[in-house]
């Protein structure tokens, strides 16, 4: 799976933040697609939510009627229609920001200088320059946009003031923002504008005014606002207040961009005004740094804590510091610190033992880690550190193919810690490996216990399926059918739910199977989670504003307007509209992520439980003509290929992974060149892998080669993810009943879940769209 999510994490983060009512943070960037679909009026969802009360519906209708003839609404609708042809050019500019793209949008703005569409175009130009941090060039287009800005005036004003401030023109920034609250009372940019306004006041020597502006805006806390406020108090000579703010910012928000600046500001203040940090504050900072994966900084902070700690507290700090050092790849230092810790409480001793064991494992000394497990058994038999160690020991033996010892470790973990977070997984692995060793009767008992002890855990579908398979092998078709039916009803769109449907077709039960009490422990699917999309309030001012911003490819700003409109309307339609917007922009990846957040358990739901628009966004079919053509030319199911692409790139043609895999099917450049040669693709270059048709042509041919090599999709998908060498190795581990048993036996969790998810999702595609 690619790591390209950073490319759009800001937009998605904003989407998710506004869904919880946080509209404070200004956008820094928008994204676009180079080849958008033709301009159409936004679609609306027509199915009302069954749970909405008549009173609420009546209130919404009344509100909408009130807005229907609003002059502002009419103007925005006219601007939306008038700016239709801007959309593709704006997307191109926001995506590439090349001189040609700038020139195209600027020419459009000049042609429509006396129209709202022209103002939108100038806003797009200024916004794009701001993204490039070329604030001097942003000033002119934003000034031009002000003339016809209309309801986009708050955005134009904010970005213009910020551009003035960034170019050292504080007086003009102040003048631009004068009256912002009065002119734009409903704007989401009010707090952001106040931060810029206060910063400009501060630059002009008006610190008390800056303080007065920001003190009213301190909740919810924002690091940028706190930094400016602290500087205001410092400039006003109120060093103690400034120190308190900088101190809090540095120690409680260490991952913010402003934290280090706050540290610098503290150093400028008189020493008498700066309070020494408490050990508790340092611990908070160190813990947040560690959680944020800034391991070196966390280790430095723990070093400071260590120098201030008494003898009783030092061991715990040393262990935390060693953990940070190990994660920062400074294992020698970590080991030295742990070795210096004297004998302490049983809990500290156990944690220290595990920490030393982790260092051994990081150095590929698995035997050293296993010795640690023996020590923990003796010294701390009930410690959570032994629980963690047993899990890792079981995984070590699993990779060694020493299944007997792996079973012992997993079973010991589950028996010692039956209510622990790893208990269900450990019980399942012990039962599964028992099956792999051919002890079917013991495995059947283990699967029964799994269902009885952990019916709501993620291992339950596998336990149900393989228990049914064993019953089927024992010719107990009634039991097998009952278990398959439970899977089919409760986990229909899971990997094992699909397999259960297939097995039911094969065994062809003549009558309904008997009831098995064990199956009652597995709760039925909660049908109360049904989601119904409501009608889009097209005459809502914010909705129309969002559509206008969409024409300018300012998607993140549009999302904010839609989320706010939904909250004001007390409706349930924004997700569908946001997804529609991103889908039409070709950003299927963002649309998928929005819905994954909105309905995280979607794959456990029946198709009727979600609007069809949700399913089509979660399982889209972009580039379908080429995808279908190249899939079928390689004798592949197009839905399986679509599912593979969804797992690899979520249909982002510009995706690049940490390993430098490229495009829809995430091909390494080396692989792309090799397949291009096989396909006699002349003048091939790595850049062509970003072209969907080329990527699909090469990717489907490459995957077909893996299918031909292995004969089953489970093997081929595992090789696509983990490499052929690993799959060749895994296939030598005894015999498998079928490829499904191989898939469950994959020792890498990521690859196992990858294979099962793709096959599961291909089935959802078939249910949604029928024959390809």
551 neighbors 84 (Cβ within 8 angstroms): yes
3-class state of residue 33 by DSSP? coil
Distance CA(688)–CA(230), nearest Å, equals 51
Distance CA(405)–CA(396), nearest Å, equals 10
Q: Which of 392, 648, 650, 753 is catalytic?
A: 648
Distance of CA 386 to the CA centre of its chain: 32
Tokens for 95, please give them: 């995506």
CB within 8 Å of 678: residues ≥ 6 apart:
701
List beta partners, residue 662: 656, 667
176 neighbors 164 (Cβ within 8 angstroms): yes
User: What are the angstrom distances between the C-alpha of 226 and each of 190, 213, 245, 360?
Assistant: 16, 12, 7, 44
Phi, psi of 286 (to 5 degrees): -60, -45
Distance CA(669)–CA(660), nearest Å, equals 8
Q: Does residue 566 carry a catalytic annotation?
A: no
Residue of 531, 661, 536, 697 whose CA lies nearest to 608: 531
467 neighbors 448 (Cβ within 8 angstroms): yes
Print burial letters for 13-27: b (CB count within 10 Å at least 16), e (below 16). ebbbbbbeeebbbbb
Computed over its alpha carbons, how large is the radius of gyration of the chain?
30
- Note the helical H segments in 508-637: 541-551, 555-569, 574-584, 588-598, 612-618, 624-633
Tokens for 290, please give them: 């560690």
Residue of 497, 651, 646, 531 whose CA lies nearest to 599: 531
Q: What is the largest CA-CA distance in the chain?
A: 88
User: What are the angstrom distances between the C-alpha of 459 and each of 423, 467, 528?
Assistant: 11, 12, 23
Distance CA(614)–CA(714), nearest Å, equals 28
Tokens for 547, please give them: 């559509």
As annotated, the active-site residues are: 648
């Amino acid at each position: 799976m690619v790591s390209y999510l950073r490319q759009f994490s800001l937009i998605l983060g904003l989407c998710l933040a506004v869904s919880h009512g946080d509209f404070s943070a200004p956008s820094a960037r928008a994204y676009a697609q180079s080849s958008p679909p033709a301009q159409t009026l936004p679609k609306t969802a027509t199915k009302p939510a069954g749970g909405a009360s008549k009173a609420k519906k009546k209130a919404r209708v009344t509100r909408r009627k009130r807005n229907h003839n609003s002059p502002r609404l009419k103007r925005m609708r006219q601007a939306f229609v008038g700016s239709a042809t801007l959309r593709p050019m704006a997307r191109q500019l926001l995506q590439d920001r090349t001189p040609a793209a700038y020139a195209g949008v600027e020419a459009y703005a000049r042609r429509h200088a006396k129209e709202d569409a022209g103002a939108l175009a100038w806003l797009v130009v200024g916004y794009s320059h701001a993204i490039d941090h070329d604030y001097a060039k942003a000033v002119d287009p934003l000034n031009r946009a002000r003339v016809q800005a209309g309801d986009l005036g708050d955005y134009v004003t904010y970005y213009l003031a910020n551009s003035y401030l960034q170019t050292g023109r504080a007086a003009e920034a102040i003048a631009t923002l004068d009256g912002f609250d009065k002119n734009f009372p409903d704007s989401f940019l009010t707090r952001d504008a106040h931060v810029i306004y206060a910063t400009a006041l501060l630059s002009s020597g008006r610190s008390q005014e800056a303080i007065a502006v920001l003190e009213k805006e301190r909740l919810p806390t924002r690091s940028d606002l706190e930094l400016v406020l602290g500087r205001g108090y410092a400039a006003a000579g109120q060093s103690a207040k400034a120190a308190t703010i900088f101190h809090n910012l540095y120690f409680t928000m260490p991952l913010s961009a402003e934290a280090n600046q706050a540290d610098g500001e503290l150093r400028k203040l008189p020493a008498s005004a700066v309070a020494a940090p408490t050990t508790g504050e340092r611990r908070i900072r160190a813990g947040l740094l560690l959680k944020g994966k800034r391991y070196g900084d966390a280790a430095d902070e723990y070093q400071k804590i260590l120098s201030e700690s008494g003898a009783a507290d030092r061991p715990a700090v040393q262990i935390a510091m060693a953990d940070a050092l190990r994660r920062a790849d400074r294992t020698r230092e970590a080991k030295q610190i742990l070795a210096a810790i004297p004998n302490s409480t049983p809990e500290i001793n156990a944690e220290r033992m595990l920490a030393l064991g982790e260092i051994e494992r990081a150095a590929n000394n698995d035997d050293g880690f296993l010795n640690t497990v023996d020590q923990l058994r003796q010294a701390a038999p009930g410690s959570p550190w032994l629980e963690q160690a047993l899990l890792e020991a079981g995984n070590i033996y699993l990779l060694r193919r020493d299944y007997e010892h792996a079973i012992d470790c997993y079973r010991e973990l589950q028996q010692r810690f039956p209510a622990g977070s790893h208990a269900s997984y450990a019980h399942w692995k012990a039962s599964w490996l028992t099956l792999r060793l051919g002890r079917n009767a013991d495995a059947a008992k283990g699967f029964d216990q799994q269902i009885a002890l952990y019916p709501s855990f993620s291992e339950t579908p596998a336990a149900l399926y393989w228990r049914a398979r064993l019953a089927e092998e024992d010719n107990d078709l009634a039991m097998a059918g009952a278990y398959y039916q439970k899977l089919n009803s409760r986990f229909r769109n899971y990997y094992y739910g699909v397999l259960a449907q297939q097995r039911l077709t094969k065994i062809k039960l003549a009558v309904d199977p008997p009831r098995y009490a064990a199956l009652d422990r597995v709760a039925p699917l909660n049908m109360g989670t049904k989601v119904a999309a409501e009608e889009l309030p097209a005459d809502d001012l914010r909705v129309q504003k969002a559509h206008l911003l969409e024409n300018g490819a300012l998607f993140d700003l549009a999302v904010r307007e839609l989320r706010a409109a939904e909250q004001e309307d007390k409706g349930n339609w924004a997700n569908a509209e946001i997804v529609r917007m991103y889908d039409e922009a070709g950003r299927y990846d963002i649309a998928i992520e929005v819905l994954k957040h909105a309905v995280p358990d979607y794959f456990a739901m029946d198709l009727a439980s979600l609007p069809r628009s949700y399913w089509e966004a979660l399982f889209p079919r972009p580039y379908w003509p080429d995808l279908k053509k190249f899939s079928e030319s390689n004798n592949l199911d197009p839905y399986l290929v679509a599912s593979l692409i969804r797992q690899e790139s979520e249909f982002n043609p510009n995706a690049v992974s940490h390993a430098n895999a490229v495009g829809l099917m995430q091909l390494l450049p080396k692989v792309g060149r090799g397949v291009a040669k096989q396909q006699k693709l002349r003048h091939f270059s790595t850049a062509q892998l970003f072209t969907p048709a080329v990527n699909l042509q090469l990717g489907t041919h490459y995957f077909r080669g893996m299918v031909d090599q292995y004969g089953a999709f489970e093997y081929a998908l595992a090789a696509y993810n983990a490499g052929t060498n690993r799959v060749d190795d895994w296939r030598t581990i005894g015999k498998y009943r079928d490829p499904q048993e191989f898939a469950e036996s994959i020792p890498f969790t990521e690859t196992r879940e990858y294979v099962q998810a793709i096959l599961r999702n291909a089935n959802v595609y078939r249910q949604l769209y029928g024959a390809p």
